Amino acid sequence: MALRKELSPVAVVDIGSNSVRLVVYEGATPAPTPLFNEKVLCGLGRSVASTGKLDPKSVERALRALRRFRELIDQIGAKTVEVIATAAARDAENGPEFVARAEAILKAPVQLLTGTKEAELAARGVLAGHRNADGLAGDLGGGSLELVDIFEGQTGEAVTLPLGGLRLIDVSGGNLKKAREIVDAELETVPWLEKGRGRDFYAIGGTWRAFARLYMAQVEYPLSVMQDFRIKTDDALKFASALDLQSPNSLSGISEISSARRETVPYGALVLERLIRRIRPKMVVISAFGIREGLLYSLLDEEEKKQDPLIAACEDLARRRSRSLENAYELCDWTDALFAGPELEETPEQRRLRYAACLLSDIGWRAHPDYRGTQSLNLVAQGNFVDLDHAGRAFLALTVYFRAEGYVKDELTESLRELIDDDMVLRARILGTALRAANMVSASLPGVLPHTPLTYEGDRLVWTLPEPYCNLEGERVERRFKKLAALLDRDGEVRTGASVQQEAV
């Protein structure tokens, strides 16, 4: 797939206390798309607390990874290279020496983030993925935990605490009971944590994502997407309380998390459990966006920051995979009249989701007809979208499926229906059926739909096909349109050019 010509790849190298990661994004956009993503769990911060230094073997492993990353950056052609380092490199006596070697390998300066800056970037990452975020964000790394208050698009009080997973293992000697005492003592020093009561808690970091994967597996959750996965507070507390009693060996048979993450997961669960008990948030929200995305977000200009990242991502996908982006936007306008009916009054968020669904409605057209619906559903349900909760994902996925297949109740759709209420399922059926009918007249190409409006006339839903479009009327058009009207408890009428002219006379 060719890169968009107006975009220039941006490489971000994140030298963390546990992992060293390279993410190359297609460009700095409101909806960033990774071209390449690789991490190496080096454990740089494994012994910093007890020895004051980065472990020599971890350092060599990290530098080896950085050499590979530099070659990959050159291979991809990224001209913008951002390198950040966090707690381990910041706190270790030999941190400056390691940073100098890293800079020589990467041929780029390393930003050694302060705890405050790390918290700020993590918060900006949350805001990049959740425009209306309101609550406390916590970024758990190998060496530290950053906590920051987010309200109305702004960051408030912030703190960094020495509670990273590897650091806790180090200072507690691998004793979870002792680690619990350390966590409680550190959290006691943060008086403003009570501000998070009844608000969301945004959990950032690989250890908490691994925690979420385990929870998803336990409840047989229908999606595997981490971004905006929400766990009820009591459920998160119960699961974390059970998990922080586990030893790494007891997790060895679990395929949902990597072997390198297993030693830190019980400690991450412990930190989460103690935070939940102290904060009592409304919901635990997993954020796949953190300091890397926060850094990328800071590269956007003010106009780009105002763009809706969901619509931007859907537009980009429609441009790449649909027959016509112009037709997709025509569908947005054409369905405005349909959803102006009294039974379908929309909230701003429902209208936003409808527009996103219209933009995505034709992305599966190249697939074999037997698999078009399934492929479209999976592409949307598991897609790289941000500022979209899982209920919204389910709505979009069901809509594009119904657009391709008609209304089908099977195992695939039933699992997604569990994520949304009956009203949103009905809206997905109505919109999918409308898009299915529109395709029969427009062939998913532009220029026709703006001239073939929908109107409500008493108990009838009318679709007018005036001259010169009246010959597009046919049996399948009528059949599909009457299905749409029936969903609205109305009679459906396709009014063609001759009848339009006769009524006008």
Domains within the chain, CATH numbers bracketed = 10-112 (3.30.420.40), 116-293 (3.30.420.150), 309-448 (1.10.3210.10)
- If you average pLDDT over residues 26-32, what whole number do you get? 89
| Mean pLDDT across the chain | 92
- Determine the pLDDT at residue 196: 95
- Determine the pLDDT at residue 84: 97
Helix (H) or strand (E) holding 84: strand 80-85
- Determine the pLDDT at residue 73: 97
- Determine the pLDDT at residue 391: 96
**Residue 7 neighbours by CB under 8 Å, 6+ apart:** 26, 27, 29
- Determine the pLDDT at residue 498: 54
- If you average pLDDT over residues 33-52, what whole number do you get? 93
- Check: pTM over 0.75? Answer yes or no: yes
Whether 5 shows a pLDDT value over 50: the answer reads no
Whether 343 shows a pLDDT value over 90: the answer reads no
Pairing outcome for strands 154-161 and 145-151:
antiparallel
Which one-letter amino acid corresponds to residue 441? V
- In degrees and rounded to multiples of 5, residue 374 shows phi and psi of -65, -45
- If you average pLDDT over residues 202-210, what whole number do you get? 95
Reported as a pLDDT band with limits 50, 70 and 90, residue 409 is confident
- Determine the pLDDT at residue 499: 53
Q: Which two tokens stand for residue 204?
A: 């950032």
Q: Which has the closest alpha carbon to 139: 299, 292, 296, 300?
A: 292
- If you average pLDDT over residues 228-253, what whole number do you get? 81
Tens-place pLDDT, residues 436-472: 999 999 999 999 999 999 999 999 999 999 999 999 9
As a whole number of angstroms, the distance between CA 282 and CA 225 comes to: 21
Q: Where are the alpha helices (DSSP H) in 339-371?
A: 348-360
- Determine the pLDDT at residue 254: 57
* The dihedral sign for the CA sequence 317, 318, 320, 326: negative
Whether 251 shows a pLDDT value over 90: the answer reads no
Tens-place pLDDT, residues 262-281: 789 999 999 999 999 999 99
Tens-place pLDDT, residues 120-133: 999 999 999 998 99
Using DSSP's 3-state secondary structure scheme, residue 427 falls into helix
- Determine the pLDDT at residue 502: 42
Reported as a pLDDT band with limits 50, 70 and 90, residue 101 is very high
- If you average pLDDT over residues 485-492, what whole number do you get? 96
Whether 256 shows a pLDDT value over 90: the answer reads no
As a whole number of angstroms, the distance between CA 105 and CA 68 comes to: 10
Tens-place pLDDT, residues 491-503: 999 999 755 544 4
Whether 2 shows a pLDDT value over 60: the answer reads no
In this prediction, what percent of the chain has a pLDDT beyond 90? Answer: 84
In this prediction, what percent of the chain has a pLDDT beyond 70? Answer: 94
